[in-house]
Amino acid sequence: MSNKIIIKHILFIFICFSSLFLVNTQVYANDTCIHKLEFVDKLEKHWWGYRRYVSNEQILKFSSQFDSMAAEFSFFGGLSFPIGFLNPLAGILISGILELSSSYCWLLSTYMVKINKGNGVIIDFSNGFIFKIKAI
């Protein structure tokens, strides 16, 4: 087995495990928060997914977390650049998926801050993907 193939496999396994680690440590839904507002930080389960009522303070925390996730995905997308020399198709796929994830996190971060008017927002999501954000 040549060194080129071994390096390719090691890089592929590193990128896969690092992206799994990022996803598993960053995605959560917490409905145990207690605040003075009635409908804030509340999680409801529906047939189409979940609806979460989020306070202004939580939106600012979510925004900073999504910004850091976007930076991490973009960083790992840049680190996957050498894979393109070994296998162009794998390099394009891996870096493309990571950069799309980075763009999605950045878009959510900026949109949550834009919609938030100081009262919080309502987030509808299903299977980890947010599909509707509106102001309270």
Q: Tell me how many degrees the CA angle 5-95-63 measures, rounded to the nearest 5.
A: 140
**pLDDT higher than threshold 80 for residue 95:** yes
Q: Which residue, among 111, 128, 18, 12, has the nearest Cα to 72 in the 3D structure?
A: 18
- Better-scored residue on pLDDT, 19 or 93: 93
Q: Which pLDDT score, from 0 to 100, does residue 49 have? A: 85
Three-state SS at 89: helix
Q: Which helix (H) or strand (E) segment is 76 a member of?
A: helix 56-79
Q: Which pLDDT score, from 0 to 100, does residue 106 have? A: 92
Q: Which pLDDT score, from 0 to 100, does residue 68 have? A: 92
What pLDDT, in 10s, does the model give residues 111-122?
Answer: 989 998 888 898
For the full predicted model, state whether its pTM sits above 0.75. no
Residue 110 domain boundaries: 3-135
The share of the chain scoring above pLDDT 70, in percent, equals: 70
